[in-house]
Amino acid sequence: MTTAIQRFEDYWSGGDPVTMNRFFTKTITPMLIIVTSYVSFVTFVGPSIMKNRKPIQMRKLIIIYNFALVAFYLYFLIRGAFFIPVLGFQFICGSLNSYETPIIPDIFDLGYQLYVVRYIELLDTVFLVLTKKFNMITPLHVFHHSIVPVFGWFGFRSESSKHAK
């Protein structure tokens, strides 16, 4: 008979073997530290630091940052589009079994890359704090940016298609 704690540990020790041992998914610690630091900075630390300072001029950096994000997402879109002819509706409605579909590790690798970009997107709000555009930082904005890495981590840790087993 297994205890509730053992079942909980078993559930979160599963997941995608392609991404399981990578930095952001190996343990919960990096995700918790980054998300906690992000929320603390954009809600308390950053605004208090910038309170009596002039906004930092970073227009060129923000333009480069935004173009880089567009390039990342175009890459994800194009690379992801190559999976459609192989998977068809199996990706949406079917079982993802690596014996039937050997590109599944590539799909999880692309998903991990997208997950890492979600951490980079936290800079959106940091830039808003440093440029003193506090009116654009809503509780929903902060919640969205902080919850996406949390759900991503849980998604990778609980993935159960057993594609590599």
Secondary structure (3-state) at 96: coil
Q: Is 163 tagged catalytic?
A: no
H or E segment to which residue 156 belongs: helix 139-158
Using only C-alpha atoms, the chain has a radius of gyration, in whole angstroms, of: 19
Sign of the Cα pseudo-torsion (51, 57, 62, 64, in order): negative
Tokens describing residue 142: 């902060």
**Active-site annotation, residues:** 144
